[in-house]
Amino acid sequence: MLEPFAAVDVIRAKRDRNVLTDPQIDWVIDAYVRGVVAEEQMSALAMAIFINGMTNHEIVRWTTAMINSGERMDFTHLPRPTVDKHSTGGVGDKITLPLVPIVAACGGAVPQLSGRGLGHTGGTLDKLESIPGWRALLSNDEMMQILTDVGGVICAAGDGLAPADKKLYALRDVTSTVECIPLIASSIMSKKIAEGAGGLVLDVKTGAGAFMSDPALARELAATMVTIGIDSGLKTRALITAMDVPLGFAVGNALEVEESIEVLAGGGPADVIELTLTLAREMLDLAGIDADPAKALANGSAMDSWIAMIKAQGGDPAAPLPRAREMHEVLATNSGVMTQMDARGVGVAAWRLGAGRARKEDPVSAGAGIFLHAKPGDAVTEGQVILTMYADDAARIPSALEALEGAIQIGPAGSTVLRMPLILDRISP
C-alpha cells in the first residue's frame, strides 16, 4: 500500500513549529499502530511535540485518532445514566473506592476502568486486589451485567481501548517525553472517551505528591482535558485538588481499603469524606440525577452497593484484609505543631516498604504501607507516634525511613501551617 505521507515530513513539520493537519495526525497515529512509523520516528515526533506544543485543535484531533485506533464501549442500553471519574493520582488517593458505590447507590452507573500503581502513587486495582477473591479482569458481558445489577464496577481496561495510547505511553516513558500536557491530556482522554460513559469528572491533583506539582500547570492540564471532552461530545468538568499532604491517614493497599470501608460505614477522615462527596455531587449533576450522596452514606445504601460490587467481582467483603508481618513506629523528635508532611516523601516511603512498584511487572505487598497518626496542624509531643510503617520484609524499613528525611517538620507551638485548600479550582465549560 502506498502511504499518503512520510513520517519524516510529519516530524519536520512539528520540529519547525508548524500545525499538523488533520490527515497528517490521522495517518501518523494509524501508521504507528501498524508499524509503518518506527519507534525512533515516533520518539522524534513526541520530542518535537514536547518542545513545541500543540494547538487545541491538534490535541483534540490527536486524541480522536488514538480513540479510533481501537474499540469504543457503548453503555446507552443501560437502565441508568453513566458517569465516570478520573484522578491524575496521588498519595493516599483512595477516593474511587467509596465514590463508585455512593454514585451507584444514588442511581448512577459508574464504569470505572482503573489501572495499577507505578512509582510513588498507588493504583486502584492493587488496592482492591488485597480483598480475598476480588477479580480485576472482567469480560465485557460481566461488566455490563454488574453495571445493570449494582450500578458500579471497578476493573481493568481491556487491550482494545485506544491501543495507540498504550504503545505511545510506553515510548514516552523511555524517551523523557512524559511531562507534556498535550500528550498527557490526549492519553487520559482517549481512554476515557473510548470507555463510553455519558459524563466525566476529572480530579487533577497538584502539590508535592502529585504528578503535576505546579498548580498553574495542573490548571492548564485540566482545561485542556475539559476542552478535549467537550469537543468530543463528552460532558466534562474538572476539579483541581490538593496533594501537598497525603489524603486521609492510610497509604498502602489493604490499609486504604480499610479506610475506604470506614468512610462507607459513616466514619473516616474528614478530607476523604469531603472530596468524595464533592466529586459525587459533580458526577450526579452531570448524570442528571437529583440525589444527595451524603444520604447514601448515612442510610447505609452506599455500603450495600460496595458489598454487592465486591461480591459481583468474586471478592469476599467480610474476609480479613492482609496484614504486613513487620511494623515500625516513627516518633516525634520534639513537641510542638506539625507544620509539614510532604506527600511525595510519604509516598516514596510506602513504595519502598512494598506498597508500590518500580516496573509494571513487579508484584506489590497488599499489607505494606504507612498509617499516619498526625497531620499538619496537629499538636504533637516528643516521643509520640506520628506514623506507623508496615512491611513484609524488615529489610525494607531503613530505605523507607530515608525517604522520610526532611518530609515531616514539627515547629514550636503556635507555628504557622501553610496548607493548600482541598479544592483549589473548578473548571467547567
Instruction: Please tell me whether the overall predicted TM-score, pTM, comes out greater than 0.85 for this model.
Output: yes
The answer to whether residue 79 sits within a structural domain is no
Pair 216, 276 in one domain: yes
Where is the domain boundary, 264, 290, 318?
318
Q: Is 116 a catalytic residue?
A: no
Question: Residue 337 belongs to a domain with what CATH number?
Answer: 3.90.1170.30
Q: Is 127 a catalytic residue?
A: no
The answer to whether 70 touches 244, Cβ cutoff 8 Å, is no
Pair 153, 289 in one domain: yes
The answer to whether residue 62 sits within a structural domain is no
> Quick one: which of 254, 256, 223 has its CA closest to 240?
223
Pair 257, 283 in one domain: yes
State the residue for C-alpha cell 502539590: 207
Provide the β-strand partners of residue 85: 201
The whole-number pLDDT of residue 334 equals 96
The answer to whether residue 421 sits within a structural domain is no
State the residue for C-alpha cell 476542552: 227
Pair 265, 337 in one domain: no
The answer to whether residue 335 sits within a structural domain is yes
The answer to whether residue 77 sits within a structural domain is no
Q: How far is residue 138 from each of residues 21, 59, 67, 312, 316, measured CA to CA in Å?
A: 38, 31, 21, 10, 17
- Give the gyration radius of the chain's Cα atoms: 22
Question: Residue 128 belongs to a domain with what CATH number?
Answer: 3.40.1030.10
The whole-number pLDDT of residue 179 equals 86
The answer to whether residue 70 sits within a structural domain is no
Where is the domain boundary, 276, 302, 318?
318
Helix (H, G, I), strand (E, B) or coil at 201: strand
Q: Is 191 a catalytic residue?
A: yes
The whole-number pLDDT of residue 123 equals 87
The Cα 51–Cα 15 span in angstroms is: 8
Pair 148, 281 in one domain: yes
Active-site residue identified among 187, 190, 305, 365: 187
The Cα 131–Cα 256 span in angstroms is: 11
The answer to whether residue 365 sits within a structural domain is yes
The answer to whether 332 touches 403, Cβ cutoff 8 Å, is no
The secondary element (H helix, E strand) that includes residue 148 is helix 140-149
Provide the β-strand partners of residue 316: none
The answer to whether residue 416 sits within a structural domain is no
The Cα 393–Cα 372 span in angstroms is: 20
Pair 230, 354 in one domain: no
Residue-number span of the structural domain to which 232 is assigned? 84-318
Pair 270, 132 in one domain: yes
User: What dihedral angle (degrees, nearest 10) is formed by the CA atoms of 280, 281, 283, 287?
Assistant: 130
> Quick one: which of 205, 242, 203, 202 has its CA closest to 226?
202
Active-site residue identified among 61, 80, 85, 86: 86
The answer to whether 120 touches 350, Cβ cutoff 8 Å, is yes
Transcribe 313-379 into DSSP letters. Answer: TT--TTSPPP--SEEEEEE-SSSEEEEEE-HHHHHHHHIIIIIS-SSTT----SS-EEEES--TT-E
Pair 314, 338 in one domain: no
C-alpha 421 chain-centroid distance: 19
Pair 176, 223 in one domain: yes
The secondary element (H helix, E strand) that includes residue 329 is strand 326-331
Where is the domain boundary, 270, 293, 318?
318
Transcribe 75-121 into DSSP letters. Answer: -TTSSS-B-EEEE---TT--THHHHHHHHHHTT-BEEEEE---BTTB
Active-site residue identified among 84, 126, 165, 231: 165
State the residue for C-alpha cell 445504601: 301
> Quick one: which of 427, 324, 355, 397 has its CA closest to 93?
355
Question: Residue 43 belongs to a domain with what CATH number?
Answer: 1.20.970.10
The Cα 60–Cα 224 span in angstroms is: 9
The answer to whether 93 touches 271, Cβ cutoff 8 Å, is no
Pair 159, 38 in one domain: no
pLDDT, averaged per 10 consecutive residues of the chain (429 residues), comes to 93 98 98 96 97 97 97 93 95 97 98 78 89 95 96 91 91 89 96 95 95 94 97 96 97 97 97 98 98 98 98 97 97 97 96 85 90 97 98 97 97 94 95
Active-site residue identified among 172, 205, 219, 357: 172
Q: Is 362 a catalytic residue?
A: no
Active-site residue identified among 14, 80, 116, 191: 191
Q: Is 172 a catalytic residue?
A: yes
The whole-number pLDDT of residue 86 equals 96
Pair 336, 313 in one domain: no
Pair 94, 233 in one domain: yes
Number of domains in the chain: 3
> Quick one: which of 88, 103, 139, 132 has its CA closest to 253?
132
The whole-number pLDDT of residue 170 equals 85
